[in-house]
Chain A
Amino acid sequence: MALPGLVGFAHALADAGLGIGTDRTAAFLTAVSEVDVADPDQLYWAGRVTLCSEPDEIAGYDAVFARWFHGERGPNGHVRRSSPRYATLTPETSGADADDEDDSTVLRQIGASDTEVLRNRDMSGLDATEREQLAELFALLRPRPPTRRSLRRRPSRRGALDQRRTVRAMFRSGGETVRLARRSRSDRPRRVVLLIDVSGSMEPYSDALLRFAHAVARRTPGMVEAFTLGTRLTRVSRQLRQRDPAQALPAAANAVPDYAGGTRLGETLRIFLDRWGQRGLARSAVVVLFSDGWERGDPALLGEQVARLRRLAHAVLWVNPHAGREGYAPIQSGIAAALPHIDRLLAGHTLATLEELLGAMRDARRS
């Protein structure tokens, strides 16, 4: 097998969206030299163990492998990714309130009072300028993560005896106990899981909620997991870990294939629990579910799954943008079914309420 063919295969995989760098390609070439390349099975496995790094990549690998080595090449031998679809995240302003349209053409200076007003405006009714201003305010959010007791002990004034440090001090003084060193458990950030409903009825909020998720994820990158729920489940944690929101948000938006579609909340939640939650991702985590609770599927299934989630999680918070409106009652089929199993129901339609949510996440405990 000629080398360029193998490297080309790795490039085709990279084009198909697998995270492949030169080190992976190098490992692939080494692996190929160890096996019998005339045997398609061995070639397949040598590539799979070196070029894939998670189960989600295997289907893509299989497709490109079939195309590349079995002659089913696409145009130019490459698979092109679809064009970015960030545009769907920021809809045209025509849908905004008629009153605001005049203002949107004028660039306004914002003072403290404007900021205060904006913090309390419903995020679904903003024009483009206001959205931009709000985005800047999101950057100022300072989430303080919820904490748990760590298993690991650190030097401390009080706590259990630290044998190692005490004995080392004793050696230095010729065997006499001079001072007892102690150590105690410290606090570690607790895992936070954000589940964001991106169905049609939640569309006006999805941009802001992803921004919120990014602000939280940026603070403690390893401890925050974010998923979007629509007709299917998409994990966006990895995309949101990038520091710069200008890169993180389009990347996350690109990853979600089902914006503004329908919701089968119970069904997607079940998939989340099966694939991620039950294995430990939701265990002892603070789970925040952003949804308006309009369930097209069976509300009973949703109730069952939220109950299952609650058994795993430290606390389950439900954030409903409509809950902040006057005259709101939790009667939507989905919310009604889930209500007995959640720890708190909160509003999340303005920046101010999202700030309140941050506080609620930090202090969350089982009710």
Chain B
Amino acid sequence: MPGARVNLDTVSHSTTEPTSPAALAEALESTGYLADDGVATAAFLAMRMRRPLLCEGEPGTGKTSLASGLAEALGLSLIRLQCHEGIDAEQALYEWDYPRQLLHLRALEATADGPVDPEVAERSLYTRRFLLARPLLRALTESPCVLLVDEIDRADDEFEAFLLQLLDENAVSIPEFGEIRASTPPIVLLTSNRTREVHDALKRRCLYHWLTHPDAAREVAILRRRLPGLSETLAAQVAGAVHRLRELDLLKPPGVAESLDWATALQALGSVELDAANAELTLGAVAKYREDADRIRAAGLSSLLAG
């Protein structure tokens, strides 16, 4: 049927980009991520300005889930690179599939009549089908997508410099193969827990957002959103108690993940209300250090429930 050609590009990601921070917040909300003004504006600008967004904040403030929420809201795939000490290009970008290359070479020799021309053989080895794409290369080839570079502070300085170059050019050159360039740059989110200062050059390229714990009302909304069976009372009690815990000077103040765990634990026990008895039983869901648990008990479990 002439004239009925379908543009595959627009079909595969038929997303309409939100036109304001509020519209993006709404799209995020439909995926279950409740963003405040700051998060929504930061993500909106990252998208519009085509700049990576560096998110820092206490653990459990939703840095990582922002990326998955964003991917879902925009109808894009999420590609995640978890950084660790000693991460290198082979783990992050690409690797050649050596065993298959060798097999291929042996097969060439076996099927050839005479000696194999090394030039031709080598050229046939370094082709796309022997290239194992790791997250960064996948992000470039599959873009548009959301690329999450998680806990960049755990990687080494050298890796940061390498990442910087990649983000700058949205392209990578593989010596044996040539250049691979992203047709549209991916939306990039970087997270850091500040165990190490991220290099200034990287910060300069990024938008920066410092995430804080949500306020009590938002936390209640998040709890109810994520745990559909949770009663209003229990959600409010858990959110209130977690807020008081955050003021207690703990080694590890509970994040949203902990309040979700706690509410789930209480739900699993069939509790209707949070009281001193079931708080004691489920304390391990919010306090992950012995010193913290001791401090909470010293402050009095019932004082958490007041108000």
Contacts and interface: CB of A to CB of B under 8 A. Distances in A.
A238 B49 CA distance: 29
A171 interface: yes
A164 interface: yes
B275 interface: no
Contact of A45 (B42, B48, B157): B42
Contact of A280 (B45, B53, B115, B196): B196
Interface string A26-69: 01001100111000011001101110111100100000000000
Interface residues of A, number: 44
B196 A175 contact: no
**Interface of chain A, main secondary structure:** helix
Given A35-B41, A45-B41, A280 B193 contact: yes
Interface string B248-291: 00011000000000000000000000000000000000000000
A151 interface: yes
Contacts, number: 113
A58 B109 CA distance: 65
B231 to A, nearest CB: 33
A164 B208 contact: no
A121 interface: no
A42 B106 contact: no
Interface in A288-303: none
B210 A171 contact: no
A222 B157 contact: yes
A45 B109 contact: no
A50 B207 contact: yes
B21 interface: yes
A141 interface: no
B300 interface: no
B105 A278 contact: no
A58 B210 contact: yes
Given A50-B207, A280-B154, A283-B195, A152 B86 contact: yes
B204 A24 contact: yes
A34 B88 contact: no
A174 B37 contact: no
Nearest to B116: A174
Given A175-B109, A279-B193, A27 B51 contact: yes
Contacts of A24: 204
Given A35-B44, A283-B195, 6 more contacts: A34-B48, A48-B38, A53-B204, A163-B98, A171-B101, A171-B122
Interface of A: 19, 21, 23-24, 27, 30-31, 34-36, 41-42, 45-46, 48-50, 52-55, 58, 150-152, 163-164, 167, 170-172, 174-175, 188, 222, 237-238, 274, 276, 278-281, 283
Counting from the closest, the 8 A-B pairs by CB-CB distance are: A151-B86, A280-B195, A45-B41, A49-B207, A53-B203, A49-B42, A279-B195, A167-B98
8 contacts: A42-B41, A49-B42, A50-B45, A54-B203, A167-B96, A170-B105, A175-B102, A278-B251
